[in-house]
Amino acid sequence: ITMLNAIRTVAHNRDVRVHLTGVQPYVAQVLTLTGLRELLADDDPGTAG
């Protein structure tokens, strides 16, 4: 592997890591909303099964 390819790979990995870090709050919010919706559905006897 050449030095240029190594630098490019490291830069790409860093970009991916930053992208994932930026997406995490959104994913956490979606998971929280989904979890709350499931909890509400479980607590509501009208919508349960």
Give the pLDDT score at 34: 85
pLDDT at residue 16 is higher than 80: no
Question: Per residue in 24-47, pLDDT tens?
Answer: 888 888 888 888 888 777 766 665
- Structural domain contains residue 12: yes
- Structural domain contains residue 23: yes
Question: Domain of 20?
Answer: 1-39
Q: How far apart are CA 48 and CA 11, in angstroms?
A: 49
Q: How far apart are CA 45 and CA 11, in angstroms?
A: 52
How much is the mean pLDDT over the chain? 78
CB contact at 8 A, 41 and 48 = yes
- Structural domain contains residue 45: no
Give the pLDDT score at 23: 80
- Structural domain contains residue 48: no
Percentage of the chain lying above the pLDDT 70 cut: 84
- Structural domain contains residue 15: yes
Q: How many domains is the chain built from?
A: 1
